[in-house]
Structure formats: C-alpha cells, structure tokens
C-alpha cells in the first residue's frame, strides 16, 4: 500500500517542526514539503499532487480559508490553528479535521487516521499502525506507553479519560471518541457513551452491565446489541 503524500502550509517554524516530527512517526504518511505561505504552495501544487494538506489559517499574503476556495481537485485538508472560532467555517469547507495548537500527538493521530480510512475506501491500511500493540498517551505532561493487552476499560470523565489497566489507572486530557479512534476495533468496544471495554477482559455480563476485574460497568441502551454480538 502506497503512502499518503502530504505537505505543510505554515509560517511558524516551530509549528512546522512539530508537524514534521509527528508525520515522521506515522508509517503511512510521507512529507513532500513545507511552505511558509499559500502562494508558494499553490505554485508547487500546479505540478505536484498530494493526498493531504496540513493548513494553517493565519498565513501571510493569502489566508488559509481563501486558499481553500482556490483549490479545484482538493485533497484532504487538516486545519492547524490556535484559533477555535474558525472551526465552523472550516467544517463548512468540508475539511477532514481541525486541530488546535498546541497539537498533541494523540489528537494528531486521530485526524490522520480519518485520512487513512478515506484514502482506502473505509478499510484500514495493513502494514501501518495495526502492527503496534501499544500507544503513547500524555499523562501529567509525560508521554506514557500503554500496552493494549494491559487495558481493562476506558471511562469518560468530562474533558478527560481514565484508562484503567492491570497495573494502575491513567488520566489523560482527551475524549472517548478520540481514544476510541486510537484503539484497535477488534479488541475494544464501546458499550456506553462513557465506557469502552477490552473484550478479552470481559468476565460476565447481564442485559444491564458487564463485569471486568470485579468492576461492574453499565451497558447503554443503544449498545446492548454490541455486547450480545461479541
């Protein structure tokens, strides 16, 4: 499977470095170049093709949203900005995702995984992240390695999630939707809007709850079929 070619349009050198480092860590991405303004990128795109653009909104000469409107054969677009007020306009332009700076690697992965699926007709690309049996989460400003085999369940706590493992729980600032995108779907299932469980760790269940490691976890009404079909 070929890699997804991408470029960065960003005028802040530090932001370019962060994105380039993140891209280098993702096996299915290939960085073709970076541009400090949209005019330079437009010239390059006349003779080159990419499947993904990381686009800042506040650019010199031509603003990001204006640049979007000039594209005819538009690739996937991931907006990168420090200004949340442009999110609605971004999604009106059918962008793939909208990343707020400073961008955490976990959130970056959620965004590029959407591109990966879109470019492979809804199927995951074999040979990319599927071979990893772990993920790194930001816990108290540190990157902590957590193996999938050690995770018992994930619980939403408003703006945070609690990942309960066989060793100890970890708290990270992200949503259950974001962590769900990072977890292998054949190992983990959402059974409630606030809970994702490891199928292998399921000990027993009723129509209303499951038990994992002696802990009773509720089953949401909309998810009862999920448990029955495990």
- Considering Cα of 87, then 92, then 95, then 96, what sign does the dihedral take? positive
Task: Please state, as a whole number, how many other Cβ atoms lie within 10 Å of the Cβ of residue 98.
Answer: 19
Ranges of residues in the chain whose predicted pLDDT is under 50 = 121-131
Q: What domains lie within the chain, and their CATH numbers? A: 4-118 (3.40.50.2300), 132-228 (2.40.50.1020)
Give, in order, the Cα–Cα distances in Å from 109 to each of 34, 97, 117, 180. Answer: 19, 11, 12, 11
How high is the pLDDT of residue 127? Answer: 36
pTM of the predicted model over 0.95: no
How high is the pLDDT of residue 106? Answer: 85
How high is the pLDDT of residue 172? Answer: 93
* Nearest alpha-carbon partner for 26 in 122, 99, 108: 108
How high is the pLDDT of residue 91? Answer: 56
How high is the pLDDT of residue 131? Answer: 45
For residue range 145-169, what is the model confidence (pLDDT) as tens digits?
Answer: 999 999 999 999 988 999 999 999 9
């Amino acid at each position: 499977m070929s890699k997804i070619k991408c470029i960065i349009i960003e005028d802040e050198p530090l932001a370019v470095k962060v994105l380039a480092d993140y891209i280098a860590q993702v096996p299915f991405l290939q960085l073709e170049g970076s541009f400090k303004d949209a005019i330079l990128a437009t010239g390059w795109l006349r003779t080159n093709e990419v499947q993904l653009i990381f686009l800042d909104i506040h650019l010199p000469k031509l603003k990001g949203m204006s640049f979007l409107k000039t594209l005819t054969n538009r690739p996937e677009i991931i907006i990168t900005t420090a200004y949340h007020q442009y999110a609605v306009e971004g999604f009106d332009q059918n962008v793939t995702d909208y990343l707020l700076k400073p961008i955490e690697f976990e959130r970056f992965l959620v965004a590029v995984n959407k591109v990966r699926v879109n470019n492979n007709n809804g199927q995951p690309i074999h040979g990319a992240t599927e071979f990893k049996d772990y993920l790194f989460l930001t816990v108290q400003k540190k990157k902590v390695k957590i193996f999938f085999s050690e995770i018992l369940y994930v619980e939403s706590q408003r703006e945070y999630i609690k990942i309960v493992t066989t060793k100890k729980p970890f708290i990270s600032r992200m949503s259950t939707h974001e962590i769900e995108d990072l977890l292998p779907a054949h190992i983990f299932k959402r059974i409630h809007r606030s809970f994702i469980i490891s199928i292998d760790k399921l000990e027993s269940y009723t129509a209303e709850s499951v038990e994992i490691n002696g802990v009773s976890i509720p089953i949401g009404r909309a998810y009862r079929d999920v448990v029955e079909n495990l």
